[in-house]
Structure 1
Amino acid sequence: MTQIDEYPLPTSTSDSDQISSAKAPSAMPEADTKITIDEFMKVELRVAKVVTAERVPKSKKLIKLEVDLGSEVRVVVAGIAGAYEPEALVGRTVVVVANLKPAKLMGVESNGMVLAASLEGDVPMLVGFGDQPPTLGARVR
């Protein structure tokens, strides 16, 4: 069984209060567009490990990550600075969309996308693995 570790266990009563007072979503939004399984299979989701992480200058939301995909190390820019300090990301196993076309974000070329989950208006939290992550570069299906 795979554990998702984006929500740490509470360490104090204030953490517990925050968790219990968090709003539960009233309903999941309907997907506007449905895709076929063939379209989904075009997306290459790969397991990667964060090698380095640093804030992108002049950005409140972006962190520049170097991620090891097993066969290569590449730069990915992620909008997760509201939830994570860069040093807390180093060594973490993440899921990367590996076949996106490169895009420049705040002057930094990003060669992929780190998967994160959030409800509208919430801070994105990484989607990850527990104690026994898969091999780097493994395809997520």
Structure 2
Amino acid sequence: MSGQVNYLVEAPELGQEYFYLHIRQTLLYSLFKWEGKDFEKRWLALHRVYPTKEDVVRAAEFVKDFYKSHKEQLNYLTSEPEPGAKVWFSMNMDGSPLDSVSTNFDYKDTFHQRLLKNFQLYGTREDLIKDIDLITKALEEEYKKAH
């Protein structure tokens, strides 16, 4: 892929609509109106804010392909941890303290199994943060190819 990513570099005007890229295996996006809040500014800096639905869908596809093509660089768990082991996950991969959550792994818990299956379960918070950084850098590099 070349130049598939077209995120916003500057903040939209107050009240302007934008799309936010949720980095998950299911790769969802949400439509919001810019309010200039701190978390929105963090999203902007992490290349998660997009001007159009088409742009965010292309970015989602890029990230999905990145997960597949960079397995060896990414740090998510690939096998089931021991029952009760401390594991980490993030719902939005934005690196915020509230988004990085630890829990004790329960193999009977369908949510834990889904996290493992969808490349969202980590052995350490550091591994989780490294992957957030890798994905952010990959989005930035892909953006640069087109601009």
Same fold per TM (> 0.5)? no
Structure with the larger helix share: 2
TM-score (norm 2): 0.22
